[in-house]
């Protein structure tokens, strides 16, 4: 259902690698029918031998079909069709992270009731088998945290900004021209797409429901080239990370620009590539890297799900891996923490008057809030006004503190007369 | 069977994470019996509640036991016990790469006959779920090549040599003192351990038998600090890689020190960490990173296999993933190429007399062999002898050529009167 970029990739990889797939799976996988509103485009993609229809319900009604692949996207008709396919006893494979992040609980519950599988490897980090690694490969572990570059558009933009010292707006236009960013890039640059994926990984890591609505989401549109430069001078790179952590108090679930030490592998993931770090209590830190989008990388994940389902479609449900890694009756109700409760460290940039006592004022506010300082950098004063008055960039790296404390301290610093502009605050993760 | 470092890790992770494992797997996994020649040590590791025996056959004979974990190591008694366990209808989980690299075909065939599973995720790259990724996550792809840092000891040594500019012998002693290298480090430093793992991955990638005996194996003991330094100057790092590639002529299977561009993530994998790159036709390049050894990382992989087997132990064999990724009746007999047939590029270091015509002589030999040059570096001459005669290090990077041609050219260069010492040749891979 839906044969655009990814659907065409699924079709052509299945054709090209059919004999290899049969050698692995012990059986073939055949595209029996394609539904797309644009039947002409669809027929061109699959050739004359495959039946193309405009009505997706013809696929669902076709009793020869075992598995329905949903590649329409979005929460609208896709949700309805997926639920109808499940109701008709079909297994479903989808790349639709938005749908699952918002309606996952309902869809997985329906699938469990009907005894069918919903495969969604393609929904997170494209071709990287991160869902299989989380659900199966690391199943011995208590997962402690996940941090990932899970949106290629924003990583491309951040890589270019750093590489060429360009501003966000300029690079966004380039990315759109190159096809790395959509005409309406909101979901990507505002962090929504990354939050969809982070919410799915959080559920699989910790055995909680998919809670996209509780995620803290901050994008990269406000990020300045100078902060990328200062971060670099301090030994860090800025990446848009999807982060989820388990703490004693609850679960952190957040997407925001993040300083990462430049010696970490993930700090060196460039361009549109994706990478996910997973830290488990037994295995320690692991990392998974590859293409997070595109026709064939996404098709690779869709077809891996098809092969898994082909193997297990008539198995006892107990022989299948639970959709969200944990048995549906063993989910935890551990709360997702508000951003004020999150503990992390910070990069702060204050534009301050270049006069005595400024650093003392700022640091005493942090000290009173119990926030300790890791590093301070003061950078070349720019002349402003005619009276020889100057201003300076003051960059502070802090140690870990609760975000509510930091918000309070920021409020106090912001009203200092010597602080001349809105303070820039970027979170920092050591990811050790 | 065998409860040393890894066995103790398996026991303690299973205990610690039992409730999490039950929430995932829907059932518990219990260690019913432990066999170890050192019963006192074993009993201390597992506590008084678990039965400890000195005779591994008591485990195999115990009809309450579904899965036997073999952590003895080596080809000797371990092979016999694994085959007996299979014959008794037990599933087997093992971390024994040496055993499977040499006797894998026999063991997997026996398991298929008896309808039992042999899990060996722990045999390659420790806690990294690389076997699951290869066999399942990337099952849509024609795998084109794999290149991995799959021996932590040698990567630790190479990282230290580069970081501190030290020679191999010095660092080896440090590594032994720190527990990163064994008292007899032969299997690690000579590349044998990496070749065991590469042979297993090669089989799973290309659907061929496990052919450790056909692997080309070269270790790091001959590597000099100066080559690491020159490589760095040219933008490369030297890593011991296990490489397997599919070409039109056959399969390459080789372990040797390799120059890798320093901008590749794998070039930045430091210390005892492991990382494996897998390139598939649909997914492109992917990378998997984590701890390749140690008690709990290895236990993570052993227990993941236990959970998989617990889920599928009474499934139809067709519902299980084939041991070597491909159906046993669909294996290919594509040959493993001899090293002379391998195509790669090279780093050459020649100690030459600092006189006119040397470069011309050397490059004309390469030109006649059809080997083209990518870069040349000539480094500070050291005075030798009393007559003002000097010598120079001449470093050449070549483009791809067949190794047999390179061997021929090396033979011709080596006998030039102006070439003053044995030519150093290190292979180079771009891994793009």
All structural domains of chain A, each given as residue ranges with its CATH number in brackets, are: 5-128+296-330 (3.40.50.720), 130-290 (3.30.360.10), 343-428 (3.30.70.260)
CB-CB neighbors (< 8 A) of A311 in chain B: 318-321
Tell how strand A284-291 and strand B284-291 pair up: antiparallel
CB-CB neighbors (< 8 A) of A308 in chain B: 136
Facing A304 at nearest CB: one of B136, B316, B330: B136
> Strand, helix or coil at A427?
strand
Report pLDDT digits (tens) over A64-74: 999 999 999 99
The answer to whether A305 faces chain B, any CB pair under 8 Å, is no
Question: Does A133 contact B136 at a Cβ distance shorter than 8 Å?
Answer: no
Residue A355 burial (C-beta neighbours within 10 Å; 0-12, 13-18, 19+): exposed
Question: Does A282 contact B330 at a Cβ distance shorter than 8 Å?
Answer: no
Q: Using CA atoms, how far apart are residues B403 and B348, in angstroms rounded to an integer?
A: 13
Which residues lie across from B145 on neighbouring strands? B245, B279
Which residues lie across from B35 on neighbouring strands? B53
Give the pLDDT confidence score for residue B384 in this predicted structure: 53
Give the pLDDT confidence score for residue A387 in this predicted structure: 58
For testing the chain A interface, which of B140, B316, B325, B332 should be mutated: the one with the most A CBs within 10 Å?
A: B140
Q: Tell me the shortest Cα–Cα distance from A286 to chain B, in angstroms.
A: 4
The answer to whether A62 faces chain B, any CB pair under 8 Å, is no
Question: Running DSSP on this structure, what letter comes out for residue A336?
Answer: B
Question: Does B318 contact A311 at a Cβ distance shorter than 8 Å?
Answer: yes
Tokens linked to A106: 């309902």
Q: How far is CA A184 from the centre of its chain?
A: 18
Give the pLDDT confidence score for residue B388 in this predicted structure: 60
Give the pLDDT confidence score for residue A18 in this predicted structure: 97
Give the pLDDT confidence score for residue B385 in this predicted structure: 52
Q: Which of residues 320-349 of A touch B (CB under 8 A)?
A: 320-322, 325-327, 330
Q: Which of residues 15-44 of B touch A (CB under 8 A)?
A: 16-17, 20-26
Q: Using CA atoms, how far apart are residues A86 and A95, in angstroms rounded to an integer?
A: 16
Q: Using CA atoms, how far apart are residues A310 and A179, in angstroms rounded to an integer?
A: 34
Average pLDDT, stretch B5-27? 96
For testing the chain A interface, which of B134, B286, B317 should be mutated: the one with the most A CBs within 10 Å?
A: B286
Question: Does A121 contact B137 at a Cβ distance shorter than 8 Å?
Answer: yes
Which residues lie across from A383 on neighbouring strands? A390
The answer to whether B163 faces chain A, any CB pair under 8 Å, is no
Do B23 and B88 contact (CB within 8 A), yes or no? Answer: no
Tokens linked to B379: 């480094």
Q: Using CA atoms, how far apart are residues B157 and B155, in angstroms rounded to an integer?
A: 5
> Strand, helix or coil at A228?
helix
> Strand, helix or coil at B182?
coil
Q: Using CA atoms, how far apart are residues A103 and A210, in angstroms rounded to an integer?
A: 8
CB-CB neighbors (< 8 A) of B265 in chain A: 265, 268-269, 289
Question: Running DSSP on this structure, what letter comes out for residue A392?
Answer: E
B179 pLDDT tier (thresholds 50, 70, 90): confident
DSSP H/E element including A395: strand A390-398
The answer to whether B280 faces chain A, any CB pair under 8 Å, is yes
CB-CB neighbors (< 8 A) of A9 in chain B: 282
Q: Using CA atoms, how far apart are residues B223 and B231, in angstroms rounded to an integer?
A: 12
Residues B279, B283, B285, B289: what is their CA dihedral angle, to the nearest 10 degrees? -100
Q: Using CA atoms, how far apart are residues B266 and B149, in angstroms rounded to an integer?
A: 8
Among B79, B97, B132, B197, the one annotated catalytic: B197
DSSP H/E element including A84: helix A77-87
The answer to whether B417 faces chain A, any CB pair under 8 Å, is no
Give the pLDDT confidence score for residue A400 in this predicted structure: 98
For residue B22, how many other CB atoms are within 10 A of its CB? 15
The answer to whether B432 faces chain A, any CB pair under 8 Å, is no
Q: Using CA atoms, how far apart are residues B39 and B54, in angstroms rounded to an integer?
A: 6
Q: Using CA atoms, how far apart are residues A391 and A412, in angstroms rounded to an integer?
A: 19
Residues of A with catalytic function: 197
Q: Which of residues 195-224 of B touch A (CB under 8 A)?
A: 207
**Minimal-distance CA residue of chain B relative to A297:** B283
The answer to whether A313 faces chain B, any CB pair under 8 Å, is no
Question: Running DSSP on this structure, what letter comes out for residue B337?
Answer: P
Nearest to A17 by CA among A299, A392, A364: A299
> Residue written as tokens 């920021």?
A410
CB-CB neighbors (< 8 A) of B280 in chain A: 300
Tell how strand A143-149 and strand A236-246 pair up: antiparallel
Give the pLDDT confidence score for residue B249 in this predicted structure: 96
Q: Using CA atoms, how far apart are residues A60 and A71, in angstroms rounded to an integer?
A: 14
* Cα–Cα distances in angstroms (integers) from residue A317 to residues A92, A254, B311, B331, in the given order: 15, 33, 10, 30
Report pLDDT digits (tens) over B246-260: 999 999 999 999 999
Do A371 and A328 contact (CB within 8 A), yes or no? Answer: no
pLDDT value at B166 more than 80:
yes
> Strand, helix or coil at A369?
coil
- Mean pLDDT for all residues in chain B: 96
B314 pLDDT tier (thresholds 50, 70, 90): confident
Q: Which residues of chain A have pLDDT under 50?
A: none
Average pLDDT, stretch B122-132? 98
Q: Using CA atoms, how far apart are residues B153 and B239, in angstroms rounded to an integer?
A: 12
**DSSP letters for B270-327:** -TTEEEEEEEETTTEEEEEEEE-SSHHHHHHHHHHHHHHHHHHTTS-GGGSPPTTSS-
**Minimal-distance CA residue of chain A relative to B316:** A315
Report pLDDT digits (tens) over B272-289: 999 999 999 999 999 999
Question: Does A297 contact B316 at a Cβ distance shorter than 8 Å?
Answer: no
> Residue written as tokens 């004979």?
B61
**Minimal-distance CA residue of chain A relative to B319:** A311
Q: Using CA atoms, how far apart are residues A67 and A92, in angstroms rounded to an integer?
A: 6
Q: Tell me the shortest Cα–Cα distance from A288 to chain B, in angstroms.
A: 5
Tell how strand B424-428 and strand B251-261 pair up: parallel
Q: Using CA atoms, how far apart are residues A261 and B268, in angstroms rounded to an integer?
A: 13
The answer to whether B137 faces chain A, any CB pair under 8 Å, is yes
């Amino acid at each position: 259902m839906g044969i655009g970029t990814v659907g065409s990739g699924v079709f052509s990889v299945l054709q090209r690698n059919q004999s290899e797939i049969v050698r692995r799976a012990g059986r073939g996988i055949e595209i029996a029918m394609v539904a797309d509103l644009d039947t002409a485009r669809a027929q061109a993609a699959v050739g004359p031998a495959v039946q193309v229809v405009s009505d997706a319900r013809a696929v669902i009604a076709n009793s020869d079909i075992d598995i329905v692949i949903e590649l329409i996207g979005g929460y609208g008709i896709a949700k309805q069709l997926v639920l109808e396919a499940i109701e008709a006893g079909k297994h479903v494979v989808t790349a639709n992270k938005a749908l699952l992040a918002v309606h996952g609980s309902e869809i997985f519950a329906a699938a469990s009731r009907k005894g069918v599988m919903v495969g969604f490897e393609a929904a997170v980090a494209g071709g990287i088998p991160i869902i299989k690694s989380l659900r199966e490969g690391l199943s011995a572990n208590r997962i402690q945290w996940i941090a990932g570059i899970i949106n290629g558009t924003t990583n491309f933009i951040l890589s270019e900004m750093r590489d060429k010292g360009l501003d966000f707006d300029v690079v966004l236009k380039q990315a759109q021209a190159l096809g790395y960013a959509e005409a309406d890039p909101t979901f990507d640059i505002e962090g929504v797409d990354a939050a969809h994926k982070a919410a799915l990984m959080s559920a699989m890591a910790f055995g909680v429901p998919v809670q996209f609505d509780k995620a803290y989401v901050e994008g990269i549109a406000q990020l300045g080239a100078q902060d990328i430069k200062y971060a670099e001078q301090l030994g860090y790179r800025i990446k848009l990370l999807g982060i989820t952590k388990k703490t004693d108090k609850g679960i952190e679930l957040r997407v925001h620009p993040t300083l990462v030490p430049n010696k970490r592998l993930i700090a060196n993931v460039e361009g549109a590539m994706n990478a996910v770090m997973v830290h488990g209590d037994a295995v320690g830190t692991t990392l998974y890297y590859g293409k997070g989008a595109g026709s064939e990388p996404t098709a690779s994940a869709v077809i891996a799900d098809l092969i898994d389902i082909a193997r297990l479609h008539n198995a006892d449900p107990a022989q299948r891996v639970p959709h969200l890694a944990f048995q549906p009756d063993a989910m935890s109700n551990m709360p997702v923490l508000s951003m004020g409760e999150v503990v992390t460290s910070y990069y702060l940039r204050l534009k301050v008057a270049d006069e005595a006592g400024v650093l003392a004022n700022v640091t005493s506010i942090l000290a009173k809030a119990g926030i300790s300082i890791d590093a301070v950098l003061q950078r070349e004063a720019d002349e402003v006004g005619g009276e020889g008055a100057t201003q300076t960039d003051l960059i502070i790296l802090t140690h870990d503190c609760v975000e509510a404390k930091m918000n309070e301290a920021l409020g106090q610093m912001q009203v200092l007369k010597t602080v001349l502009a809105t303070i820039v605050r970027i979170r920092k993760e050591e990811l050790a």
